[in-house]
């Protein structure tokens, strides 16, 4: 187990080295696309500004650190809905399931989609609208596997398919995530996590919507069709480093403190910290603060930065199985513009 862990950790470290060297470069800001991959659709991690690389488990791990996916009892189902930047009319919907297999392994599936609502179709001839509507389709599918060795070390890998399209223009790409979690301490209260996310293919838009007709020079009755060739774009790759420590007060109370650093390839780096209080894991209260370096510029500053908070309530579903639970979760993230992002979630655990 120890040799396997070190080999995987070395591999991730070598893969992360080029990313870390290029991270935080403001000259590359805005060159990536598919930024929906950085949205957190689930309330538990959203309440901690997605700074949960060291302690995330189950379905949510597929959006932060896939290594934590196997740290569940048997089965977990999670449904998430969020109001992104309240006032814009954008929502996110997510569904995920993880299932333990064998002694320490787990498979997971996750689907996330954006809802932009109905947008009026406008043209140069009818700038006020044609009377028709359209709605962009942005979604991604993820399949992951994670394995925990002796409840100390977890490793995982995830493959993701990304699709962005409107009626006549679309783009498609693939991405890979990998991660490691390490747990130690007398009560397994010290946790460390590292994850590399969104390493994959370039995406490029194509379709009939990029074609235009123009008259032939000198022969206007015979138009020519010209096809625009858009530039491709990279996925928003990043490296997460996080640690947390659990403090227990008797058998009923747990207080967790965490610190986190994120190195971005196409934007500024971020650092932050947070806490989570749990009462027998039936009631949880959490809050965090995240800061982005160079965020004093009002033009390039991130939309979501600063404070976040969340709350969760869980109840047992069985008197005999204490791990069988149903939970309702909520989180709020402060935003620089609009009226914040609200996350809602329903969790089933067996």
Is 126 among the domain residues? yes
Is 311 among the domain residues? yes
CATH of the domain at 243: 2.40.160.60
For residue 2, which phi and psi values (nearest 5 degrees)? -65, -45
SS3 label, residue 231: coil
Domain that holds residue 180: 2-205+237-349
Structurally, the chain folds into a number of domains equal to 1
Is 220 among the domain residues? no
Is 214 among the domain residues? no
How far from 207 is each of 71, 122, 229, CA to CA, in Å? 43, 19, 10
Q: List the chain pLDDT tens, one digit each, 350 residues.
A: 455 544 455 455 545 544 444 445 566 777 889 999 999 999 999 999 999 999 999 999 999 999 999 999 999 999 999 999 999 999 999 999 999 998 899 999 999 999 999 999 888 889 888 889 989 999 999 999 999 998 899 999 999 999 999 988 999 999 999 999 999 988 889 999 999 999 998 999 999 888 887 777 766 567 888 888 888 999 999 999 999 999 999 889 999 999 999 999 888 899 999 999 999 889 999 999 999 887 666 666 778 878 999 999 999 888 777 778 999 999 999 998 889 999 999 999 98
Is 302 among the domain residues? yes
214, 185 Cβ separation under 8 angstroms? no
Is 255 among the domain residues? yes
Is 96 among the domain residues? yes
């Amino acid at each position: 187990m120890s040799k396997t862990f070190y080999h995987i950790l070395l591999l991730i470290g070598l893969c992360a080295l080029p990313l870390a060297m290029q991270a935080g470069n403001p000259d590359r800001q805005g060159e990536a696309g598919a930024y929906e991959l950085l949205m957190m659709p689930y309330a538990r991690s959203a309440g901690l500004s997605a700074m949960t690389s060291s302690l995330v488990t189950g379905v949510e791990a597929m959006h932060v650190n896939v290594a934590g996916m196997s740290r569940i009892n048997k089965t977990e189902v999670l449904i998430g809905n969020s109001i992104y930047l309240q006032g814009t009319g954008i929502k996110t919907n997510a569904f995920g399931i993880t299932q333990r297999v064998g002694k320490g392994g787990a498979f997971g599936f996750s689907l996330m989609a954006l809802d932009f609502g109905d947008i009026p179709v406008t043209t140069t001839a009818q700038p006020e609208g044609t009377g028709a509507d359209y709605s962009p389709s942005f979604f991604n599918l993820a399949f992951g596997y994670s394995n925990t060795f002796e409840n100390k070390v977890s490793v995982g890998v995830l493959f993701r398919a990304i699709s962005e399209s409107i009626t006549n223009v679309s783009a498609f790409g693939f991405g890979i995530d990998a991660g490691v979690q390490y747990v130690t301490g007398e009560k397994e209260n010290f946790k460390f996590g590292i994850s590399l996310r969104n390493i994959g293919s370039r995406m490029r838009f194509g379709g009939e919507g990029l074609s235009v007709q123009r008259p032939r020079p000198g022969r206007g009755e015979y138009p020519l069709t010209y096809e625009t060739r858009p530039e491709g774009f990279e996925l928003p790759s990043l490296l997460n480093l996080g640690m947390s420590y659990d403090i227990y007060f008797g058998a009923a109370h747990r207080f967790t403190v965490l610190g986190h650093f994120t190195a971005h390839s196409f934007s500024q780096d971020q650092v932050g910290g947070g806490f989570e209080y749990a009462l027998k894991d039936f009631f949880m209260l959490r809050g965090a603060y995240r800061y982005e370096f160079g965020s004093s510029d009002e033009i390039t500053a991130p939309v979501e930065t600063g404070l976040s908070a969340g709350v969760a309530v869980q109840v047992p579903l069985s008197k005999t199985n204490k791990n069988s639970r149903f939970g309702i979760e909520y989180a709020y993230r402060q935003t620089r513009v609009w009226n914040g992002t609200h996350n809602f979630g329903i969790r089933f655990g067996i």
